Amino acid sequence: MRVLFVQPSALMFSEVYLRLEPLGLERVAGAARRAGHEVRLLDLAVYSPKDFFTLVDKWQPQAVAFSLNYFANVPEVIDLAKFTRQRLADCLIFVGGHSVSFVPEEVLEHAQGAIDAVVRGEGEEITPQVLATGRHGGLEQLPGVVTRLGSGPAPLLVQNLDEHLPARDLGGRRHKYFIGHLDPCASVEFTRGCPWDCSFCSAWTFYGRSYRKLSVEASVEDLAAVREPNVFLVDDVAFIKPDHGMAIADAVEKRGIRKEYYLETRADVLLRNPEVFERWARLGLSYMFLGIEALDEEQLKIFRKRTTPNKNFEALDVARRLGIRVAINIIADPAWDEKRFDHLREWALKVPEIVHVTVQTPYPGTEIWHTESRKLTTLDYRLFDVQHAVLPTTLPLKRFYEELVKTQAILNRKHLGWSVMRQAGWIALKLAMKGQTNFLRSLWKFSSVFNAERQYQDHQQPVKYAMRPPRPHPPASHPHDGPGHACGGTVRHDELYVHVPLTNTAAPVTP
Ligand code: B12
Ligand code: SF4
């Protein structure tokens, strides 16, 4: 069968800071190819919609599969599916990925028959079965598959992550993937899932709080196959298990693999296992993202981060000592006024770290989607990208964006200050001489992307597809029974999961 896998276009953030390969889709496409299909992969973050239209018309795929990891891409994917259906009436069209796994029925409804099935959960093992079944025979009986006729049993976790290494050769234009000056940059996965349960995050609800590791051999085999000099580790929380991190480090050293790495982890994991980060710093770990999220204890409790401001600040000290450059994120509540933004700016200018600000956004699949008592001000999927306010703002909306963008601009200038700029300029020039211009372009893209007027105007656009609002949940009996004082109700964790925790493969790990 001719099968086309499609990654939708990149969101705001990616125009400035980073653009990364669609690792999940490469793994799923690899599984389809191993099952004997003729496979192509098109990433619309690096190709244009015109390339998609041409491929559909010229290659005439018999199946088209879209990845939908981000809610903000829902309208785009539905429109592309509708286009495909008009051109190829018999084509099997299905969608899978992180976000769509939480809202399969509503996406099928919006698509009005253009999408045959939504595949919930991990796609590697089920996709060959979906392709073998085709559009006319019982898709709705397969695990995790939802069609307009009904849905199959709960999705199954992949038995062995080692068996599905990504098909990196399928995509093309790999020189377009970068993060900051790690240009070009590939992505690699050592572990999957997260045992914590932060109230604003859907990583744990997707994987049923499971945490699994690729074997050391498979991790290193994949890393060794990467041609790029830089690697983004996509693990939700890197090096939770220090032995695993150390064993991979041993193997990397033995094989003489030298790369520059970027990873994401938690402050308490860094404090608990500094030796593994120190080891990786020697192997080339130069950037780290720490999920700090809030500066005060009360807010950390609301997010259920299970850490304290002191621990967070201690972790920043450790990273500085190790010589690892740290980027952190703070979540701005739409209720913030000028004073709160001022406080954040003041703090952020004092610390040497790169500070990013995103907007608190309840998503389907997160706990706060059900418990947030404030009413959503929009149901436009495109605005659910953590850069827009979807909850009522205390400041007039435009003022809120002015404060947000002012903060982002100050922080952007801070980490691209004159001395850094001189250094960055030099790096950019060296990369440009090698034909790598992503980092260079990103240096002056900021103001065209982060723009208060543009963000405000996004709210005035007509809404073609609207999200289904959350179902009301029973109110918490006490204001602190729920995740925090903003709680409007309670929700059982087992109602949130895509992959239901099992005792064998997915035993929840105690953090
Ligand atoms: C790496 C990562 C990124 C990378 C993106 C890499 C890329 N090109 O996809 C970067 C850093 C760019 C990024 C950015 C953002 N991210 Co992000 N990201 C992640 C992270 C940590 C891991 C994703 C990953 O690679 N996993 C490993 C691969 C193997 O898994 P996967 O992609 O999910 O694919 C599997 C399944 O989803 C499924 N699948 C995927 N596609 C398909 C297609 C078909 C047909 C089928 C059948 C199955 C299938 O099968 C795959 C294999 O099992 C996840 C957290 C998580 N655990 O998922 C957050 C996560 C997905 N990101 C999130 C967010 C909010 C964002 C941003 C909006 C944040 C921001 N600060 O602006 C941006 C927007 C990005 C954009 N589109 O432009 C949220 C999503 C929330 C939501 N529901 O929309 C998550 C869940 C994190 C969280 N804390 O909640 N992200
Ligand atoms: S630790 Fe990170 S990945 Fe895990 S639930 Fe919290 S925010 Fe999500």
**Residues of the chain above pLDDT 70, percent:** 89
DSSP letters of 448-487?
HHS-HHHHHHHTTS--SSBPPPPPP-PPPSSTTTSSSTTB
Atom of ligand 2 nearest to the CA of 305: 6
Asked whether 365 lines ligand 2 (CB < 6 A), one says no
* pLDDT of 352: 86
pLDDT at 173 over 80: yes
* pLDDT of 486: 38
* pLDDT of 296: 87
Q: How far is residue 9's CA from residue 415's CA, in Å, rounded to a whole number?
A: 27
Parallel/antiparallel/unpaired status of strands 18-19 and 2-7: unpaired
* pLDDT of 14: 61
- Comparing 341 with 429, the larger pLDDT belongs to 341
Q: Which domains does the chain have, with CATH numbers?
A: 2-151 (3.40.50.2300), 174-458 (3.20.20.70)
16 CB-contact burial (10 Å; exposed 0-12 / middle 13-18 / buried 19+): buried
For residue 370, what are its two tokens?
């059900």
Pocket test for ligand 2, best of 98, 189, 194, 210 (most atoms within 8 A of CB): 194
What does the pLDDT look like over 241-298, one tens digit per residue? 999 999 999 999 999 999 999 999 999 999 999 999 999 999 999 999 998 888 889 8
- Comparing 353 with 3, the larger pLDDT belongs to 3
Best-predicted range by mean pLDDT (69-83, 432-446, 483-497): 69-83
CA dihedral angle for residue 277, residue 280, residue 285, residue 288, rounded to 10 degrees: -20
* pLDDT of 373: 81
pLDDT at 449 over 50: yes
Atom of ligand 2 nearest to the CA of 197: 5
Q: How far is residue 93's CA from residue 6's CA, in Å, rounded to a whole number?
A: 11
- Comparing 302 with 360, the larger pLDDT belongs to 360
Residue with tokens 């969101």: 11
**pLDDT class for 437, splitting at 50, 70, 90?**
confident
475, amino acid identity: P
**pLDDT class for 2, splitting at 50, 70, 90?**
very high
Average pLDDT over residues 339-355: 91
* pLDDT of 378: 97
**Residues of the chain above pLDDT 90, percent:** 75
Average pLDDT over residues 27-56: 98
What does the pLDDT look like over 385-429, one tens digit per residue? 999 999 999 999 999 999 999 998 888 777 665 555 566 666 777
pLDDT at 128 over 90: yes
Asked whether 266 lines ligand 2 (CB < 6 A), one says yes
For residue 247, what are its two tokens?
């064993």
Torsions phi, psi for 3 (to 5 deg): -120, 130
pLDDT at 109 over 90: yes
Asked whether 208 lines ligand 2 (CB < 6 A), one says no
pLDDT at 505 over 50: no
* pLDDT of 478: 43
DSSP letters of 355-376?
EEEEE----TTSHHHHHB-SPP
Q: How far is residue 239's CA from residue 263's CA, in Å, rounded to a whole number?
A: 10
Average pLDDT over residues 120-147: 96
List C-alpha distances in Å: 17 to 354, 409, 412, 422, 440.
12, 13, 10, 18, 11
Atom of ligand 1 nearest to the CA of 70: 84
Q: What is the 3-state secondary structure (H, E, C) of 248-303?
A: HHHHHHHCCCCCEEEEEECHHHHHHCHHHHHHHHHHCEEEEEEEEECCCHHHHHHC
What does the pLDDT look like over 292-320, one tens digit per residue? 888 889 889 988 989 898 999 999 999 99
Mean pLDDT score of the chain, rounded to an integer?
90
* pLDDT of 295: 85
Asked whether 240 lines ligand 2 (CB < 6 A), one says no
| 202 Cα–ligand 2 center, Å | 8
